[in-house]
Chains A and B, each alone.
Chain A
Amino acid sequence: MIALLASLAEQHVVGGTDGRVVVYRVSLFVASLLFLVGLRMLTNPETARRGMQMAVLGMVLGVLGTLVHRDIINYWWIIGGLVVGTVIGVPMGLLIPMTKMPERIALSHAGGGLAVALVGVAEYLAGHPQHDKFAMGSVTFEIIMGAITFTGSLMAFGKLAEILPGKPMTFPGQNAVNFVLLAGSLVALIALVVQPQLTWLFYGLVALSLFLGISLVLPIGGADMPVVICLLNSYAGLAASASGFALDNNVLIICGALDGGSGFILALIMSKAMNRSFANVVFGAFGSDAAAAAGGGGKGGNVREGTVEDAAELLKISQSVIIVPGYGMAVAQAQHATRDLAGALAANGTNVRYAIHPVAGRMPGHMNVLLAEANVPYDQLFELDAINDEFERTDVSIVVGANDVVNPAAKTSPGSPIFGMPILNVDKSKAVIVLKRSMKPGFAGIENELFVLPQTMMVFGDAKATLGKITAAMKGGGH
């Protein structure tokens, strides 16, 4: 391949074009193809790893092809950047625990946004896009989106890592202010296209975009972070595409489109799974209103509390069990303990399956990754539509740290903030065991009628410890 490229390049040098430009262009073209093929292979768990290796190959090819570009005359800054990036990136990749995956994804969006925004600023400083209105518009758009992604993702990271309060941070008229700021940044974009030499406006726009990222994400509650992360993913992609337009670089346009499209689709899936629109997620400040609504409409009722022995006795005589994990499982790092209980149940002849709600956890697919880490085979994991009719034929559902995604209020009370959201029909199963730290309401701040149903048994305590005790009690045999 390389030899072929080199010989092609050779011919073109003779023909008058710089051969190194050909190597650069062709390697980026091949890289784009490899990314597409890699992404296609990611649609199946059997081929996903090979797909990723294709993309790695594409990346190596793209970087090597760029390094021979004739414009590059100084390698020291490049080497410095590559070394620093690798020294930080590799340990981060290897050491970060799977439960922290949402935080790490948010951080990496911040890094992606920063890189793209800096490329745009450097292009402007070098005076390249100023000669061309289209390039100037692309660069400016790239900087706005990159900067919003950068600070917005840092805020999302802060909320996920609980450095910032997970509750929505709002003030009256916030949406109006954000709207005016957004409109202002668009006006500035147009002004810069017309008058690119207005440096003060340029820097003002950079600052404004950085601020917008903060003020757009702070009002959004912790439970809505899955949608926010996906949207930021989409913004990062759009920023990268815009830089591709400005630099006339197709591989950037393609990868940006793939990244932007993927974030957009995932955000759509997430909002649909919560029965809410984008606008509602982004401007609705979910959580604060909901808590107020719940205060008035609380139904009350008796909670039946059980011990681990009660739970173990019940599980011993059950034929079929569905485990419903939620964000609480991630917080308690209870995925291994969950798997151990499932193993004990299977050893007892019980049919065990897992039901995964699309918005369980703090990012798309969060629960799947945690259970995979605990060695749960993925053919035991079922999506909402695939398993929802099975609950009525199930003896026991075990809810591990899930709340809103199993709240029957979504079906029964039209006044509830989550009304209309598709939920797992845990209330249909013959018995329900809920593992929960306390009676505190979930992140949406709504009371859960499931907890007061007659067939529900609440087992309070740390999910990991409780699961361990139930497993031990099951293995310990009868009285």
Chain B
Amino acid sequence: MTIDHILAGLYVFSLAAFLGYQIISKVPQLLHTPLMAFTNAISGISLVASLLIAGRKSDSLLIPVLGAIAVASATINVVGGFVITDRMLKMFKKKEAQK
């Protein structure tokens, strides 16, 4: 990996961390639990790395098996995380709901 690659990665990391800090500081306490469920779901994007490992050509059986377990765990987070975030966000209402 060249120094350019490493620096480009550090640029992306620093800018994302800065932007994330700015945005997340604005999330009200009210939405902190949905925020955790949400960031949990999007960090399930590690799924894309797991997909490559599970589907890549490999001489050993162990690697795709590890990949498949990683795909399953990441999928649980992505699917479950979004379902739960949605369930929570649906509940937040401003006015007294009609009964």
Instruction: Report whether A108 and B77 are in contact in the complex, using a CB–CB cutoff of 8 Å.
Output: yes
* Chain B residues near A245 (CB-CB < 8 A): 6, 9, 13
The prevalent SS among residues of A at the interface is helix
* Chain A residues near B47 (CB-CB < 8 A): 59, 62-63, 115
Name the residue on A nearest B91 (C-beta): A372
Contact of B31 among A45, A55, A116 (CB under 8 A): A45
Complex-state Cα separation, A74 to B97, whole angstroms: 51
Instruction: Report whether A251 and B94 are in contact in the complex, using a CB–CB cutoff of 8 Å.
Output: no
Contact of A112 among B27, B30, B44, B96 (CB under 8 A): B44
Q: Is A81 engaged at the interface, CB distance under 8 Å to the other chain?
A: yes
Most chain B C-beta atoms within 10 Å of own C-beta, residue among A72, A85, A92, A378: A85
Instruction: Report whether B55 and A59 are in contact in the complex, using a CB–CB cutoff of 8 Å.
Output: no
Most chain A C-beta atoms within 10 Å of own C-beta, residue among B60, B63, B76, B82: B76
Name the residue on A nearest B75 (C-beta): A85
Which residues of B (71-99) have their CB < 8 Å from a CB of A? 71-97
Q: Is A476 engaged at the interface, CB distance under 8 Å to the other chain?
A: no
Which residues of B (1-36) have their CB < 8 Å from a CB of A? 1, 5-6, 9, 12-13, 16-17, 19-21, 23-36
Given the known inter-chain contacts A72-B51, A252-B46, please indicate yes or no for A89 contacting B23, CB distance below 8 A: no
Contact of A252 among B45, B53, B56, B92 (CB under 8 A): B45
Contact of A365 among B33, B53, B62, B67 (CB under 8 A): B33
Interface string of A169-183 (1 = CB under 8 A from B): 000000000000000
Contact of A89 among B75, B85, B92, B96 (CB under 8 A): B75
Instruction: Report whether B36 and A262 are in contact in the complex, using a CB–CB cutoff of 8 Å.
Output: yes
Instruction: Report whether B40 and A55 are in contact in the complex, using a CB–CB cutoff of 8 Å.
Output: no
Contact of B33 among A38, A109, A118, A366 (CB under 8 A): A366
Contact of A265 among B16, B25, B34, B74 (CB under 8 A): B25
Contact of A74 among B33, B64, B91, B95 (CB under 8 A): B64
* Chain A residues near B97 (CB-CB < 8 A): 375, 377
Instruction: Report whether B79 and A77 are in contact in the complex, using a CB–CB cutoff of 8 Å.
Output: no
Instruction: Report whether B49 and A43 are in contact in the complex, using a CB–CB cutoff of 8 Å.
Output: no
Instruction: Report whether A77 and B54 are in contact in the complex, using a CB–CB cutoff of 8 Å.
Output: yes
Instruction: Report whether A118 and B20 are in contact in the complex, using a CB–CB cutoff of 8 Å.
Output: no
Instruction: Report whether A63 and B43 are in contact in the complex, using a CB–CB cutoff of 8 Å.
Output: no
- Tell me how far the C-beta of A190 lies from the nearest C-beta in chain B, rounded to whole angstroms: 17
* Chain A residues near B94 (CB-CB < 8 A): 45-46, 377-379
Interface size class of A (residues with CB under 8 A): 35 or more
Q: Is A93 engaged at the interface, CB distance under 8 Å to the other chain?
A: yes
* Chain A residues near B16 (CB-CB < 8 A): 253-254, 257-258
Contact of A67 among B13, B41, B51, B70 (CB under 8 A): B51
Name the residue on A nearest B83 (C-beta): A93
Q: Is A393 engaged at the interface, CB distance under 8 Å to the other chain?
A: no
Instruction: Report whether B13 and A112 are in contact in the complex, using a CB–CB cutoff of 8 Å.
Output: no
Contact of A39 among B37, B38, B51, B82 (CB under 8 A): B38
Complex-state Cα separation, A327 to B54, whole angstroms: 42
Instruction: Report whether A126 and B63 are in contact in the complex, using a CB–CB cutoff of 8 Å.
Output: yes
Instruction: Report whether B27 and A119 are in contact in the complex, using a CB–CB cutoff of 8 Å.
Output: no
Complex-state Cα separation, A263 to B35, whole angstroms: 10
Instruction: Report whether B41 and A55 are in contact in the complex, using a CB–CB cutoff of 8 Å.
Output: yes
**20 interchain pairs, CB-CB under 8 A:** A31-B45, A38-B38, A59-B47, A63-B47, A77-B65, A78-B68, A81-B72, A108-B77, A112-B46, A115-B73, A118-B50, A248-B5, A258-B42, A259-B40, A260-B17, A262-B24, A263-B39, A364-B29, A377-B94, A378-B94
**What 19 new A-B contacts, CB under 8 Å, besides A65-B48, A81-B68, A82-B75?**
A52-B85, A69-B51, A80-B71, A81-B50, A81-B67, A85-B73, A89-B78, A108-B40, A115-B47, A125-B63, A249-B48, A250-B12, A255-B46, A256-B13, A259-B39, A356-B29, A358-B29, A363-B32, A375-B93
Q: Which A residues are closer than 8 A to B by beta carbons?
A: 28, 31, 35-36, 38-40, 42-43, 45-46, 48-49, 52, 55-56, 58-59, 62-63, 65-67, 69, 71-75, 77-78, 80-82, 84-86, 88-90, 92-94, 96, 98, 101, 104-105, 108-109, 111-112, 114-116, 118-119, 121-123, 125-126, 132, 134-135, 229-230, 233, 236-237, 240-241, 243-245, 247-263, 265-266, 269, 356, 358, 363-366, 368-369, 372-373, 375, 377-379, 381, 383
Question: What are the 4 closest A-B residue pairs judged by CB atoms, nearest first?
Answer: A85-B75, A81-B71, A93-B83, A365-B32
